[in-house]
Amino acid sequence: MRLKDIRRPLASLVSFFIILSMSSVLFLQSVAASGTVTVSHASITLSNSNPGTVANETIQWNPSNTTTAVATIDIQYATTATGTTVPSGLSMSATPTITLSGFGSATATGAYNSSTGVLTVTLSAATAPSATVSVTVASVTNPSAGTFYVQVTSNSSTPSVTDYGVMATTTVTQVVVTGTMDPSLSFTVTGIASGTATSTTGAENATTVTTTSTTLPFGHFNVATTNVAAQQISTTTNAAYGYTVTLQENQLLTDSSSSTIPNVTAGTWTTNTTTGFGVNVTSGDYNSALFTSNAIYEPIPVNPATPVTLATKSSATSSSGDSEYVNFQLGVTAAQPAGTYTNNLDYVVTPTY
């Protein structure tokens, strides 16, 4: 056989292999191009978007192929939509806990490769996806602040790609909100008109004189009945541990010749019998440990003795505050020396913040 006759078949064979090789290259290029996004309504939601914080990730999408059973799902974490560079700071367990939705009763296990940034989710049984599916990955440490991507590839048992999608999300440094509420305190004293029922008992059930916020003008003492005056105190504070209101006097009721009206002896005021000057508190947050009934009257200590506690509360008040009636009763006998008697009373309110 001549040499050129041999060359012709060889040339044909070479051409066949060249064409076959080109076909293979085209096929491989076609597989490599399968990264085109085919899913829709794709998203990734972080339970907490703060960088470096451990969060749960929920990756959700609508598959384009709902007929082919899915056996595995590859999730590539990357800094770009088509890249493979793992986002800085991202980490998770080598076998993170996976929760599936939209794959029937199938469960899943996860295997994370920290070098490649690929999380492989293996279904317990190959299952065709429903119209909407999701993969939740527990306890993922968020990457550094910025946008990162997940490329999701669904694979059949063959294996072959059944679906592909890319989602993006952003970790955002948390916004710190600060603000200061200043301590607040409001304390007011209000006069009470004569004839007002303030639950005073023992001598009278209503006041006998009209007071102002700064005066208790008993006027001319009545020796036949008890003289009754009252003021209303109101406290408003944001002190977390409440407040106390105390009362003391600078001296006993004293006239210009140094005659005095003594303070009452602590106890029950007896109608038209008890003498002296005393105080009782009713309503609101009155000191119930001391004023066990509205007939119990206490002496008003002379400064610098320990003052009498009128009202107390262990928590902040409402915005409208707390109010109490402070009832003053005064009894004298006909033997009390004539004169104009006076002293000064000091309310002290102490909030505890």
Parallel, antiparallel, or unpaired for β 276-282 and 322-331?
antiparallel
| pLDDT tens-digit readout, 52-97 | 999 999 999 999 999 999 999 999 999 999 999 999 999 999 999 9
Distance CA 228, CA 194 (A): 9
Q: What is the pLDDT of residue 200?
A: 79
CATH number of 185-351: 2.60.40
- 110-142 burial, b at 16+ Cβ within 10 Å, e below that, comes to bebeeeebbbbbbbeebbbbeeebbbbbbebeb
35-171 folds as Immunoglobulin-like (2.60.40)
Q: Domain boundaries in the chain?
A: 35-171, 185-351
Report residue 191 as tokens.
Answer: 């006069």
35-171 with 185-351: one CATH topology? yes
Q: What is the pLDDT of residue 224?
A: 79
**Is residue 185 within 8 Å of residue 349, measured between CB atoms?**
yes
Amino acid at 348: V
Bridge partners for 54 per DSSP: 141
48 to 173, 222, 296: CA distances (angstroms): 10, 76, 60
Q: What is the pLDDT of residue 203?
A: 55
Residues of the chain with pLDDT under 50: 1-4, 6-7, 9-34
| pLDDT tens-digit readout, 27-41 | 222 222 345 789 999
Q: What is the pLDDT of residue 35?
A: 52
Distance CA 310, CA 237 (A): 17
**Residue owning tokens 């109608």:** 271
Distance CA 57, CA 230 (A): 67
| pLDDT tens-digit readout, 198-224 | 987 765 778 999 999 999 999 999 897
Q: What angle do CA 56, 73, 100 make, to 5 degrees?
A: 45
